[in-house]
Amino acid sequence: MRLRICLLIFGLLLTGLPQAATAAVSVGGKCTQPGSVKQISGKRLVCIKAKGKLQWQAKPAKQPTSQIDQSTKLVDVFGNPTSEEAKLIDKFTETAWAKGKPATNWLVTEVHPKVAGKRWAEDATAILPAITQILDGIGAPITRDLEWYVWWDLDSLRPKLPINCWAKFDDAFVKSVVGAGYCIPSTIFIFYDAYQQWYSKDGFLERYPNEWDKYGLIGVAAGEVTHFGQQIYGEKYNHEALQFYPAWLREGPTILYSAMAYAKYANLPYSTVRNLALRHFNNPQCGSIPMTDLLMTNQSPSLCEYSGGFLASEYLVAKTGDILAPFRYLESKMPGNGEYCPAHRGICRSSYEQVIAEIYSKDVDAWHAEIHKYVKAWS
């Protein structure tokens, strides 16, 4: 007993800390706030639930950590945390895939000589049957032909685009942030000259830099097909999707459904691909952006209508159990495209709130607060 007391006193003299505090912040020690993080003696400790109790557990310094309670210990195939909502969409993806059929005789492709036969260009085209099968399986099939330009430079691409295509105008198309797009009524494109500003020229167009950018470089084409699907679906209800949708619900689902298509294309679970998508877009500041700041195009300085909208769409589908939920917005009986706010190039909040109440039976403020917690936790 005396020896134990002496060792304890010696330890306290060395550390200058009370025993209770040391025990509280050590591996296996009791903690109170799930997801909280402490750095102790070079170790990164995370508060998680283990064996029914909240305890500090060591995690590698670079391990991504969600603010969501990790008691379920849900992880993707790379060992990174994923969400219960994403695991639900694993099942929805399989259901949609089983129900859907890929579109046939629908794609009119033109390829620039400089990218013909290149790996990135061929893979971007190869994923398109997968996204059409997913869209068909969820109930938003592609029903008419689509022009697909796999191109090198914007200058020689512009004459081929529809006369009113936004990508033809410098004030609408910002080459420093965009390298692909959809033009009403039936044209999608990618031009790889833009991608030289983001990726190394070593192995350009042939070698993927990493798994998450591989998803981004292939999945972007599937996302543009989803925009095409949105337009077709909106036309059934006399809405032009690009004008009627709020920005987050226009852009977020393109990532959601492209991730589902990529999951089948790459033989990965959706719950893994969504983590690749989040890392590819890499917008951690989206957790501080209110959903009402994501109604109009270019309103968010960090383009959070993409990754923030993606997480919000994932949450919407998981909580409603309706894989078509992001498209339902277009089913509104509101005439035309609602009240338009030209300064922000999008639907006004008053019209947006009316549609949300009509389609989803939600109070906007309460619903946004619920969604925002999920976006903040995972962005």
Query: Is 39 domain-assigned?
Result: no
Domain hosting residue 294, numbered range: 84-378
Query: Is 5 domain-assigned?
Result: no
The pair of structure tokens assigned to 37 is 């993080």
CA distance 372 to 252: 14
* CATH number of the domain within which 310 lies: 1.10.390.10
Query: Is 6 domain-assigned?
Result: no
Q: Which residues, 6+ apart, have CB-to-CB distance to 152 below 8 Å?
A: 112, 114, 115, 191, 192, 193
> Is the omega angle on the peptide bond into residue 209 within 30 degrees of 0, that is, cis?
no
What per-residue confidence (pLDDT) applies to 54? 73
Query: Is 31 domain-assigned?
Result: no
What per-residue confidence (pLDDT) applies to 176? 77
Query: Is 37 domain-assigned?
Result: no
Q: Which residues, 6+ apart, have CB-to-CB distance to 45 below 8 Å?
A: 25, 26, 27, 37, 38, 39, 56, 57, 58, 59
What are the residue ranges in the chain where pLDDT is below 50? 1-23, 60-72
Q: Which residues, 6+ apart, have CB-to-CB distance to 269 below 8 Å?
A: 76, 77, 90, 263
Query: Is 17 domain-assigned?
Result: no
* HSE (side-chain half, CA atoms, 13 Å) at 230: 30
Task: Judge contact between 238 and 336, C-beta under 8 A.
Answer: yes
Q: Per the structure, how many domains does the chain have?
A: 1
Task: Judge contact between 229 and 237, C-beta under 8 A.
Answer: no
What per-residue confidence (pLDDT) applies to 233? 98
CA distance 111 to 120: 12
Query: Is 345 domain-assigned?
Result: yes
Query: Is 72 domain-assigned?
Result: no
What per-residue confidence (pLDDT) applies to 41? 60
The pair of structure tokens assigned to 377 is 């936790």
What per-residue confidence (pLDDT) applies to 23? 46
Q: How many CB atoms lie within 10 A of CB 227?
A: 21
What per-residue confidence (pLDDT) applies to 16? 37
Q: List strand residue ranges (DSSP E) for the chain, in order.
A: 37-40, 43-50, 53-59, 107-111, 146-151, 180-183, 187-191, 340-341, 346-347
CA distance 26 to 169: 58
